[in-house]
Chains A and B, each alone.
Chain A
Amino acid sequence: MSAAAAGAAAELVGVTKRYGGARPAVDGVDLRIEEGEFFSILGPSGCGKTTSLRMLGGFVRPDEGEIRLGGASVDGVPPHKRNVNTVFQSYALFGHLSVADNVGFGLRRRKVRGEEMRRRVDEMLRVVSLAERRGAMPSELSGGQQQRVALARALVNMPELLLLDEPLGALDLKLRRQMQVELKQIQREVGIAFAYVTHDQEEALTMSDRIAVMNDGKVLQVDTPTTIYNNPASLFVAQFIGSTNALEGSGDGATVQLACGARLVAPAPGTGVADGPLTACVRPEKVILSPAGDDAPGAVTGTVVESVYVGSGTTYKVDVNATSIEVLEANDSGAAAAIPVGSRVRVGWRPEDCLIFDGNGKAAGRCAEDGTKVPQPTRSRNWI
């Protein structure tokens, strides 16, 4: 990491920032944002994601470490001298200036004037589909339109990197979905790297090329959305991204015994992993329910205690030996009737859908194929 490799739009190298609290807001963070990628920083509030973004923007100075933009260190460079622009959470539009003047603000500061400025402003307003509102004042625009002005105002300067601080937080759900798609399209069109801060995992999964998951000032994992979802590096990531059943248990290196009664084959037996207390994670949509009774050895049975119809599927809560397991069944077969509350069901999953995390929450791999027959999802509903 000594020299910036070509292609990085921005890098944080060993960056730490303290605000005087007991633990640093940002704690030894290394991040590398590639040119032209849509990079999200995802985490719960207070995880250090906004501070990281503000350090990239130059509004906050790191206590330790280095920030590089386009390969060069920007230590001590104030915001107005960085080739980086920000879309703020509140949009921060200048209320006394028209849409066109807002968008032209940055160009004017860089002495781009006259016809050239007008052309670039108009071009960017076209990209965000606001060409007709160029003379309007910000107060006359809807929330979504204001959002697009903020985006155009930042993008028109052709920064190396665009920082977006929860820009969709103030919009209602429907508009947010629409803007997610639009933002992604605009990003592809302009080809500028986006660093996008959000606490909304769904938003990050939908839009990003890569996601960095942060918690307590540390980066836990940086990967593509699919990898993050399917191969979370830690228990925190597994639980933060999507929902999952975290089942307590312990292992002896060869087998894993869960509190709910399930016995699993440890990942890579004999290598020392899965020895001691651990957690097994299975996503609700990976849990397979079948009628109890066709008892295979080692089968785990439970009682359905709650059933909620959610349109595209049905979620069940199954009580298995005092452990609650959440199950999402897609309504794909259409005709299938819901499992009545109180039914006894057999609960299972494919071994490879079960992730094991050691006592420190670190990923320890997937359960190994144990040769026993995985229960098949059945539609012959003879629920007891």
Chain B
Amino acid sequence: MSTVHAGARALWTGLMSPGIAVLLLFFLIPLVVVIAFSFGTVNDLNQPVLGFSTANYTAVFKPYNLAPVWRTIWFTAVATGVCLLLGYPVAYLAARFAGRLGPVIIALVVLPWLVDYLVRIYAWQSILTPNGLLPSAMDSLGLGRPNLAGNNITVIIGLVYGYLPLMILPIYAAVRDLPGQVIDAGKDLYGSPFSVFRAVTLPLTREGVLGGCLLVSLPMLGDFATAQFLGGPDSTMLGNTINQQFTGGGSQTVGAAFTVVLIALLALVLVMVRVIGRRRIGATVLGPEQQATVAVSG
């Protein structure tokens, strides 16, 4: 409403400067530097030197190096899907049916977060290794003592476990904001619970679902502690490669190239969400009735 006076604008712009400085120095400039060094080379002392070489990317695309990248993509996809399948019912229950228990359920979901992440991940290790709790229990039941740790499945379990609350929170918020009458109206129109869910509830909470998927998948792409503790040598992820290149005696310029790959994966996820999001915006324009019809027939 109010006209912004030039002086006021200058003031607000000035007040931003410390924050801008922090973001510039410790976020934007490092990103530029890492992109620059991803085209660099290393000298005889294995120190990175700026340059213009694509050797680092050639290294990235070697099958041996590319494997963890593919693994990261499918681990993230599967773990995100599992998070959605597990998280939606929990969020839906907490927001619609649990009454005063709802916030309690949400608090309980978040509470374990306060224990150090590594300690919790490590606890899974002690549950799943051959000498751990689960195999021991199976052994005493005469089922043998399988090694449940150190493979792809355990890494995915760890990822799901680590990021599930981030899926539940936005969906919970979306379902809670959903007016109850809308679902009742849906019941009148469609009858079967599944078609009501598909025609009414899911489209109206898609915002929350997309938000949850974004929150969960982005940190998963860069995760390295989970694979380090729960995975075997053949279940490492992109994060492990980056860590190895930077701090484990690898080449920092190759590490920089892998970091750029990680940023590219992030861009890919954003584009995907954007595409799905655009379709939703189109559907919203149609109006709820047609939207519901489209959702049912589609």
**Do A and B make up one complex?**
yes
The chain A residues found within 8 Å of chain B, CB to CB, are: 54, 59-61
The chain B residues found within 8 Å of chain A, CB to CB, are: 1-3, 5
What 9 pairs across the A-B complex have the smallest Cβ distances?
A60-B3, A59-B2, A61-B3, A59-B3, A60-B2, A54-B2, A61-B5, A54-B1, A54-B3
**Which chain B residues lie closer than 8 Å to A60 at the CB level?**
2-3
- A60 and B5 CA atoms in complex are apart in Å by 8
Q: Please name the residue on chain A nearest to B3 by beta carbon.
A: A60
**Which chain B residues lie closer than 8 Å to A59 at the CB level?**
2-3
**Which chain A residues lie closer than 8 Å to B2 at the CB level?**
54, 59-60
Main secondary structure of the interface of B (DSSP, over half): loop
A-B contact pairs, 9 of them (CB 8 A): A54-B1, A54-B2, A54-B3, A59-B2, A59-B3, A60-B2, A60-B3, A61-B3, A61-B5
What 6 new A-B contacts, CB under 8 Å, besides A54-B2, A54-B3, A61-B5? A54-B1, A59-B2, A59-B3, A60-B2, A60-B3, A61-B3
**Which chain B residues lie closer than 8 Å to A54 at the CB level?**
1-3
- A98 and B131 CA atoms in complex are apart in Å by 64
**Which chain B residues lie closer than 8 Å to A61 at the CB level?**
3, 5
Q: Please name the residue on chain B nearest to A59 by beta carbon.
A: B2
- A344 and B20 CA atoms in complex are apart in Å by 79
Q: How far is the CB of B23 from chain A (nearest CB, A)?
A: 30
**Which chain A residues lie closer than 8 Å to B3 at the CB level?**
54, 59-61
- A54 and B1 CA atoms in complex are apart in Å by 10
- A33 and B5 CA atoms in complex are apart in Å by 26
- A146 and B1 CA atoms in complex are apart in Å by 22
- A61 and B1 CA atoms in complex are apart in Å by 13
- A249 and B37 CA atoms in complex are apart in Å by 83
**Which chain A residues lie closer than 8 Å to B5 at the CB level?**
61
- A379 and B1 CA atoms in complex are apart in Å by 56
- A59 and B2 CA atoms in complex are apart in Å by 6
- A54 and B5 CA atoms in complex are apart in Å by 13
Q: How far is the CB of A258 from chain B (nearest CB, A)?
A: 45
- A54 and B3 CA atoms in complex are apart in Å by 10
Q: How far is the CB of B58 from chain A (nearest CB, A)?
A: 54
Q: Please name the residue on chain A nearest to B8 by beta carbon.
A: A78
Q: How far is the CB of A220 from chain B (nearest CB, A)?
A: 24
- A334 and B267 CA atoms in complex are apart in Å by 79
Q: How far is the CB of B3 from chain A (nearest CB, A)?
A: 5
- A294 and B1 CA atoms in complex are apart in Å by 61
- A82 and B2 CA atoms in complex are apart in Å by 17
Q: Please name the residue on chain B nearest to A55 by beta carbon.
A: B3
Q: How far is the CB of B9 from chain A (nearest CB, A)?
A: 14
Q: Please name the residue on chain A nearest to B5 by beta carbon.
A: A61
Q: Please name the residue on chain A nearest to B2 by beta carbon.
A: A59
Q: Please name the residue on chain B nearest to A79 by beta carbon.
A: B2
Q: How far is the CB of A374 from chain B (nearest CB, A)?
A: 52
Q: Please name the residue on chain A nearest to B7 by beta carbon.
A: A78
- A61 and B3 CA atoms in complex are apart in Å by 8
- A60 and B3 CA atoms in complex are apart in Å by 6
Q: How far is the CB of A128 from chain B (nearest CB, A)?
A: 26
Q: How far is the CB of B29 from chain A (nearest CB, A)?
A: 37
- A169 and B2 CA atoms in complex are apart in Å by 19
Q: How far is the CB of A328 from chain B (nearest CB, A)?
A: 39
